Structure 1
Amino acid sequence: MKKILFAAVAALLLVACDNKSKNTFTLSGKISNATGKMLYLEEVPVGTMDPVIVDSTPLSPDGTFSLQAPSSESAIYNIRIDQNFYPVVAVINDHPKVEVEVEMSKENNLFSEKYEVKGSPASQAMKTFTTRFNEKLQSIFTRLKQVDSLHNSKASENEIEFLKQAIANDASTLKEYTLSEMKKSDNVALTMFQLGYYQSTANNPGFGLEPLNNEQVTALIADLVKKNPNHSGLASLHKSMQAEMERLNKSNWVGKQAPDFVLPDINGKPLALSSLKGKYVLVDFWASWCRPCRIENPHLVAAYNKFKDKNFTILGVSLDQTKEAWEKAIKDDGLTWLHVSDLKFWESSVVDLYGFDGIPFNVLLDPDGKVLAQGLRGVELEKKLAEVLQ
């Protein structure tokens, strides 16, 4: 999985702070149709992103509960039943006392079917944002299924492109909606939640959303720090993000000559990257065991088929450990371009050469071997190729 700067704020349930001081936060209410033994109240410190249990209580027969925690900074709190992976509900402590009524799903009691929150405008705004965001996301998902159907029915390229453009428009609208809601927010916890919710969704290439880039996220966090200078957790996050930005800048190849390398191809013959000069080349670092890579592969196949006759090719560089797994993934995913690998996993020489610490990772080279872009995923790859291969 690719480690990226905005992963630090991509968790769905984050803590964020403002300058208000509170002594104790009380979250009470009722959970219907719940099964389990214990309720836990969690805080997720913004500096570490590790959930911290701050209170617990046995799950009463009638579902009523009351949980408390010391609260000096505005934050998001999760209620979790037993050790279930998904929290039941999340709220913001913009008021000392918040009430919730939660109805768990009868079909799957690991998930809440609906909930109401009282005494917390920020929590209500978070709920509204999530609901509207998911409605817009569902529209994109429906269109994506329609694209798959058109491909299967061998529809015309014009029909498919028209639908893809509609998806791109929907994705752009969803991004603008998120930015607009963040701008309207007057609660830092809410703003951080909205940022994390969008980024975590956009990092799934299957939805075709464009994540905010590192510079945009850094600027947003810096602005929050200026407005909330006494927030220790936010300041800690900002500091760690700045350090990560410095590290990433050192591995930024855009505008630089791509380092050459020679690795065995699928038949064991040495293949040099420099041998592909004269073409636009996407050097794609991936592996058969990397799920995000495999999810991204259909986008690569679509881009390759669309632009392969325009002096464009792909060189797949695998971090696999066995030839069998490598070859099988190439065949299963229909990756018909050139492939190389020394089958050394993370010990491959290309890892240090290009300075990446996660996959999928790629660099797009011009015919002279200079890097035009890096980290292109989903629709962004086709957009960039359309731009340079006019």
Structure 2
Amino acid sequence: MNKFKLFLLCIITIWYLPGCKLNNSEKTKVVIYTSVPLNTKLSIKRIAFGDEIDSLVDSATIKNNHDSLVLYVSKNEDRAFRITLSGSYLQMIIVNDSKLIRVHINSFFNQYTIQGSKATASLNALGDKRIAIIKVRNLLGKKIDSLSKLNVDRKIIDPLKAAMELNNQELRNGDLAYADTVSNPAAFMEVNGLIDFENDFEGFKKFMLKAAARFPNYKPIRQAKDDAVSTAKIFEEEYEVGDQLPHITLPNEVGIPYSTSALDGRYYLIDFWSTWCNQCLLFTKAEYKVLQKHSDVNLAVVSVALDDQRDVWKKIIPKNKFNWIQLIDQKMWQGTAVRTLKFDSIPFNFLVSPRGKIMAKAIKPDSLESVISRLDLNKK
């Protein structure tokens, strides 16, 4: 018999001691029943919040139906844990909000059930609602794409786009309603990561202040609240034309720090982009064409990538012939560029005078050439 088709039924108990000895009343016991191929590796990680990183609690390779490990998770603070299986996309999230949680996994049919955790049950119920809404949204998206390719009249496509927007709003409203009513802080943090406030930093601050009032003793929520307040404060006053633009220092392609103070006494354009931002790449390519056409203009250019994918960024630069100053801020929206220069979207840019004052900002790709010509920058 093919061993990868064997069904195993085993009880896995995983034992975790977080730095100090706890009695059983202070622990959550997780019992996992599995029906998986032989040699499947099962891993359980504590999900990170804030500056943390996911931490492995334990792992086991299923070799026979006598395998057994024991898992006790501290109940000192409710946290979310992710269970994964090698060779499978199946992932399960549990919250340690009870003394005993049972998980039944059948990877052959990509199915699982979780019993004993109210917070986990509520997260799964929300997940089911989200899946149903997303399926409708995907169908609408496919229909819009196919009709657009056929050059169908906009009167037919526009109602579909409106329906898709309502679908997105339904998804967001469901997430917000769950976040506002859920009683478990770890479950709140899980859904908090799904809600996109886009550039509404003030709205996100109010949202997190309300959450912190509901869960005053929960450290991850307090940290998220502090970050939201700090971020909102950054954008209370943006830099305008005529203001002095501060200098920033960031690493270039070879990791050497470069400061924009080196450009004092010159006109320079500083733009912000990312490798995953298609609109950004369109601007940067337009920028390249303008620079080629006006190579005699006394204008330095600095591109700052807000990107945590340094290797991808390094490959894109030579591929697209971006042969001007290239810097990267891998902390992205929490990094030096955003927090110092106070912009809240990309692509974005500033045109700066030799005295360091902003001459123009947020220049569109199709306006870049006319702006440079209108300002009559000095020739080299």
Same fold (TM over 0.5): yes
| Percent identity for Structure 1 against Structure 2 | 15
235, 238, 251: which one aligns with 1:253? 238
Q: Which residue of 2 aligns with 1:124?
A: 121
Following superposition, the deviation at residue 212 of structure 1 comes to 7.6
Unmatched 5+ stretches in structure 1: 1-20, 107-112, 200-209, 262-269, 274-282, 299-315, 328-340, 375-390
Q: In structure 2, do the counterparts of structure 1 residues 145 and 87 end up closer, same or farther at CA, with 3 Å as the change threshold?
A: closer
Instruction: Confirm or deny: 8 A CA contact 1:285 1:362 kept in the other structure.
Output: yes
Determine the C-alpha separation between the residues in 2 that align with 1:242 and 1:119. 36
State the partner residue of 1:75. Answer: 79
The one of 140, 145, 152 aligned to 2:142: 145
Offset of residue 129 of structure 1 = 0.7
Task: Select 2:212's aligned residue among 214, 221, 225.
Answer: 225
Is residue 181 of structure 2 the alignment partner of residue 184 of structure 1? Answer: yes
Given candidates 92, 101, 105, the residue that maps to 2:104 is 101
Per the alignment, do residues 39 and 347 of structure 1 end up closer, same or farther by CA in structure 2, a change over 3 Å counting?
Answer: closer
Is the contact made by 1:260 and 1:272 (CA closer than 8 Å) also made in structure 2? no
Whether 1:362 and 2:317 are equivalent positions in the alignment is no
The residue that corresponds to 1:280 in the other structure is: none
Provide structure 2 residue ranges, at least 5 long, that are not aligned to the other structure.
1-23, 246-265, 283-300, 305-312, 330-336, 351-358, 365-380
- The equivalent residue for 1:326 is 320
SS of 1:27's equivalent in the other structure is strand
For residues 265-306 of structure 1, the C-alpha deviation after alignment (integer angstroms, 9 at most, x for no partner) is xxxxx9998xxxxxxxxx98436xx0x2128879xxxxxxxx
TM-score (norm 2): 0.60
After superposition, the C-alpha distances for 1:187-207 in whole angstroms (9 at most, x for unaligned) are 2222221221344xxxxxxxx
- Supply the distance in 1 between the matched residues of 2:362 and 2:345 (Cα, whole angstroms): 19
What is the alpha-carbon distance in structure 2 between the residues aligned to residue 86 and residue 238 of structure 1?
A: 32
Bigger shift: 354-363 or 222-231? 354-363
- Aligned AA (1:221): M
CA distance in 2, matches of 1:176, 1:105: 34
**Paired residues of 2:46 and 2:54 also in contact (CA < 8 A):** yes
User: Alpha-carbon deviation of 1:101?
Assistant: 0.7
> Deviations 1:11-42 (Å, cap 9, x if unpaired)?
xxxxxxxxxx9611111121222454543322
Kept after mapping to 1: 8 A contact 2:27/2:74: yes
Give the superposed CA RMSD. 4.5
1:156 and 1:100 mapped to 2: Cα distance?
Answer: 51
Q: CA deviation at 1:96?
A: 1.6
Match of 1:236 in 2: 223
Alpha-carbon distance between aligned partners in 2 of 1:150 and 1:318, rounded to the nearest angstrom: 38
SS at match of 2:217: coil
C-alpha distance in 2 between matches for 1:317 and 1:145: 39
Instruction: Please give the secondary structure, in 1, of the residue aligned with 2:216.
Output: coil
Instruction: Specify the SS of the correspondent of 2:191.
Output: helix
CA distance in 1, matches of 2:217, 2:155: 55
Helix, strand or coil for the counterpart of 2:327? Answer: helix
8 A contact 2:144–2:160 mirrored in 1: yes
AA in 2 matched with 1:145: K
Q: For each residue in 1:306-349, what CA deviation from the matched residue of structure 2 results, as whole angstroms up to 9, or x when unmatched? A: xxxxxxxxxx996588886337xxxxxxxxxxxxx76322179x
Q: Which amino acid aligns with 1:361?
A: P
Higher relative contact order (CA 8 A, sep 6+): 1
Contact 1:41 1:78 in 2 (8 A): yes
Is this contact kept in 2: 1:55–1:68, CA < 8 A? no
Q: Which among 49, 54, 57 is matched to residue 54 of structure 1?
A: 57
Structure-1 separation of matches of 2:192 and 2:324: 38
Q: Which amino acid aligns with 2:324?
A: L
What's the secondary structure of 1:31's corresponding residue? Answer: strand
* Partners of 1:105 and 1:259 in 2: CA distance: 62
Determine the C-alpha separation between the residues in 1 that align with 2:210 and 2:363.
Answer: 27
